């Protein structure tokens, strides 16, 4: 059973930084893709960042240049470094996973950012609050 545990969320001032972590377990890591999506109150899920099997990274336009996704393949931990945070980044952030076969098919149709919110597994989320 895929298990994802996020941590690192906090309340910060605009311009600040946070690093989110996601500990993944319960599966053969090479078979699942990991990424991040977020959801603000009253809003739909929004894909944030993904990392492909070749190390390529993909970001929502709203976070490009400010957020960096990375993965420790030995420890199976996914990270999201968030710099220059803005109030509009306030949301619950979720680590998500799905089988590569499913992800590839959806990415071909919708692209990475729109695929992320459709991932089949996610954790409990970690809250990020950015105040001005």
Whose tokens are 């109030």? That residue is 87
pLDDT, tens digit, 9 for 90 and up, residues 42-95: 999 999 999 888 889 999 999 999 999 999 988 899 999 999 999 999 999 999
Higher per-residue pLDDT: 80 or 27: 80
Furthest CA-CA distance within the chain: 42
Confidence of residue 119 (pLDDT cuts 50, 70, 90): very high
**Other beta carbons less than 10 A from residue 87's beta carbon:** 11
Query: What are the tokens at 121?
Result: 């597994």
Please give the angle made by the CA atoms of 104, 93 and 7, to the nearest 5 degrees: 110
* Distance in angstroms (rounded) separating the CA atoms of residues 61 and 113: 9
Please count the CA atoms within 13 angstroms of the CA of 89 that sit on its side-chain side.
Answer: 31
The C-alpha torsion from 57 through 62 and 66 to 69, rounded to 10°, is -30
């Amino acid at each position: 059973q895929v298990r994802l545990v996020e941590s690192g969320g906090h309340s910060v001032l605009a311009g600040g930084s946070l690093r989110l972590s996601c500990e993944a377990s319960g599966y053969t890591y090479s078979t699942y893709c990991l990424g991040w999506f977020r959801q603000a109150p009253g809003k739909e899920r929004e894909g944030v960042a993904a990392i492909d099997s070749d190390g390529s990274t993909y970001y929502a336009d709203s976070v490009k240049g400010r957020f960096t996704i990375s993965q420790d393949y030995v420890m199976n931990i996914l990270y999201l470094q968030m710099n220059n945070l803005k109030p509009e980044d306030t949301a619950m952030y979720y680590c998500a996973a799905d089988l590569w076969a499913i992800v590839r098919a959806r990415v071909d149709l919708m692209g990475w950012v729109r695929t992320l919110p459709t991932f089949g597994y996610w954790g409990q989320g970690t809250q990020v609050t950015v105040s001005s």
